[in-house]
Chain A
Amino acid sequence: MRFEGSQDYVTTPDLMLAVNAAIKLQRPLLIKGEPGTGKTMLAEQVADALGVPLLQWHIKSTTKAQQGLYEYDAVSRLRDSQLGEDRVKDIANYILKGVLWQAFDAETPTVVLIDEIDKADIEFPNDLLRELDRMEFHVYETRETVRARHRPIVFITSNNEKELPDAFLRRCFFHYIRFPDRDTMQRIVDVHFPGLKRDLLREALEVFFGLRDVPGLKKKPSTSELIDWLKLLVAEDIPPEALRAKDQKAAVPPLAGALLKNEQDLHLFERLVFMARNNR
């Protein structure tokens, strides 16, 4: 199995190599990068391109490692016992399979996405060491050991909110998705808007990269915000000339709210524009 990129997702050669190495050597691949650079999308695209099912496990601050393996639903068993149902005799009826169990059990290889692992408790990655390494775990309630039939391709994303333990990192491959340069960005936009006018795109990218260079922004606009903004520009049918304001006088680009999501950032930006205008 090899991942060669896909029609809807632009990969750089180094990312492709990291993905293929992870597939080949069956190691989990840890992906980091600025928000909106397509970390989560990657797993979907790989699953799509390889034609295998994707199992997603979205991590929240309350998520426990155990939930990825299985949960024992004691409450419904207790209730069933009150009602005298037959199924109550077999404890296996009350074991709910988690994402990893489903992946281990699957007939075909699968892609597993563990999304935003840094959201969980600081000990969370340590609790998954053995499961990700040996791809097996023990079910206490039924005294059975679950082993993976096919080692799943595991993608893990992190937004760097917490540092991950060394022991965990040693078992993973790692790739940092850097923010796309102008050429890559052009390819990304082409993928999303095949029919976009060249001049509009050029002007838009100019504004976008200029905006990313504004000092002091709390949250720089990212790829996904650029895409949203372009969608709006196309929908509102804004001509390229409207974006080319810089020769006459500085102005806030139309629909800037799609790029700057933070009230303070928008405010700062408007103030800078105002100052630039006064200097002329």
Chain B
Amino acid sequence: MLIDFFLHLKAGQLKVSTREFLTLLEGLRDGACSHSIDEFYFYARTCLVKDESHYDRFDAAFGSYFKGVTEIPGLEAELPQEWLQAMMKKHLSPEDKAKLEKLGWDKLMEEFRKRLSEQKERHQGGSKWIGTGGSSPFGNNGYHPEGIRVGGESAGNRTAIKVWEKREYRNLDDSVELGTRNIKVALRRLRRFARQGAADELDLDGTIAATARNAGWLDLMMRPERHNAVKVLLFLDVGGSMDDHIKVCEEMFSACRSEFKHLEYFYFHNCVYEKVWRDSSRRHSENIAVSDLLHRYGPDYKLIFVGDATMSPYEILHPHGSIEHMNTEPGAAWLRRLLDAWPAAAWLNPEPEHLWPYRKSIEIVDQIMGGRMFPMTLGGLERAMQQLSKKQ
């Protein structure tokens, strides 16, 4: 009974287990829900789906299994995801690009709203409607010099004035919690407990010793509770080529934030130079001199870089190599300075490891790091944490 339904959910990428399925059947036998399809829907969802972000997936799988009952109450009218899936890339010739007139910003927003309300179906190609691949200013994967992107990955030309789901140089959102559990467990390797702060825990051994010394009269000894005392400096590359890795970086950042009590984080672009910043929206007005950091944080801090190290080798090796400003000293000098100040260091690279040999800049950074570059996978993270917790 319902085994096909169970397998169908499984095929629909839902994490359902046999145990939950048996619970579902048990409930049906015991009459936890009546025989209406609505109640069955709610009941099956309660039993089988344990994460609200999977509700949508469940609705889709449920709907396709029980054909004709797709009108499940509670589904909100949103932009259907299928519109926005990256289906095709359309490359326009330079002449075509020139032909696309640039609409003004206000007009763009207004038009977008208008078309959104007019449009009811998935659309692809063409030059007016929202959809994928076309050259209308709205939608995704298409090309228009001042377009608005809606959902999906960028097709490669990063010129949209406003990217709907991601903003350039956006501060990494540490409220993202999905998928961070594994990362946290990996980060736990770096824990080093120490007793600090107020003495509020009974020290049993100390109490026994002191009581014995007191000839049997009780002498209570207290001590501070153990805390994770590891200190971490996190340098994150944002913007440009890092946009492709924003999700995994957010997860990493979010996990770090909750796992380490002493965590200082800074942003840089491509390579660390004399200045870094804390808040991307005010990066040009409120930045922090790296030389200050060198003095502020002691050598007991662990240094973690997160970046794809993908850039032109000039940006690392030559003065004035930065793409953003005039740097009098090469990035390599700053990297070495940081490594001297904090010997326990690792570089986490979200690019897949097998691509590293093809990028000159990755090789250079890896050399500067002394081979301590690790891929940003769970395995790589474990290796990095092992490396960091070694005695330097």
Contact = CB atoms under 8 A, between A and B. Distances in A.
Counting chain A CB atoms within 10 Å of each CB, which of B179, B184, B202, B218 scores highest? B218
A170 B185 contact: no
Contacts of B55: 176
Interface string A71-91: 000110011001000000000
Contacts of A160: 177
A78 B207 CA distance: 10
Nearest to B39: A17
Interface in B1-37: 15, 17, 19-20, 23, 26-27, 30-33
B115 interface: no
Contacts, number: 83
Given A24-B32, A82-B218, A162 B258 contact: yes
Contact of A163 (B26, B33, B179, B217): B179
B69 interface: no
A205 interface: no
Interface stretch (A25-33, A44-52, A97-105): A25-33
Given A21-B27, A25-B26, A75-B202, A122 B42 contact: no
Contacts of A122: 181, 184-185
Interface string A154-180: 000000111111100111111110100
Nearest to A163: B181
A113 B348 CA distance: 41
A175 B46 contact: yes
B50 interface: yes
A171 B50 CA distance: 10
A217 interface: no
A20 interface: yes
A173 B50 CA distance: 7
A92 to B, nearest CB: 21
Interface size class on chain A is 35 or more
B180 interface: yes
A21 B47 contact: yes
Nearest to B216: A82
A163 B177 contact: yes
A170 B177 contact: no
B364 interface: no
- Per DSSP, chain B at the interface is helix
Nearest to B218: A82
A14 interface: yes
A203 to B, nearest CB: 25
Nearest to A32: B52
Nearest to A218: B175
Contact of A20 (B32, B45, B179, B202): B32
B94 interface: no
B185 A17 contact: no
Interface string A97-124: 0000000000000000000000000100
Interface in A7-55: 13-14, 17-18, 20-22, 24-25, 27, 29-30, 32
Contacts of B23: 25, 27
B32 A82 contact: no
A161 B27 contact: no
A240 to B, nearest CB: 29
Contacts of A13: 38, 42
B30 A25 contact: yes
B51 to A, nearest CB: 8
A17 B46 contact: yes
State which size class the interface on B falls in: 35 or more
A119 B386 CA distance: 27
Contacts of B51: 169, 174
A169 B181 CA distance: 14
For B20, B26, B42, B220, which residue has the most chain A Cβ atoms within 10 angstroms?
A: B42
Contacts of B204: 74
Given A25-B26, A25-B32, A178 B43 contact: no
Contact of A21 (B32, B185, B202): B32
Contact of B258 (A27, A161, A171): A161
B42 A163 contact: no
B50 A30 contact: yes
B359 to A, nearest CB: 33
A122 B185 CA distance: 9
Contact of B42 (A14, A30, A78, A164): A14
B263 interface: no
B217 A82 contact: yes
B189 to A, nearest CB: 13
B202 A163 contact: no
A219 B180 CA distance: 22
A59 B50 CA distance: 21
A171 B47 CA distance: 9
A105 B279 CA distance: 54
B104 interface: no
A8 B180 CA distance: 38
A174 B258 contact: no
B311 interface: no
Nearest to A171: B19
Contact of B218 (A79, A169, A172): A79
A162 B30 contact: no
Contacts of B46: 14, 17-18, 21-22, 29, 173-175
A59 to B, nearest CB: 15
Nearest to A16: B42
9 contacts: A14-B45, A17-B42, A24-B30, A30-B50, A32-B52, A75-B220, A78-B218, A122-B185, A170-B20
Interface of A: 13-14, 17-18, 20-22, 24-25, 27, 29-30, 32, 74-75, 78-79, 82, 122, 160-166, 169-176, 178
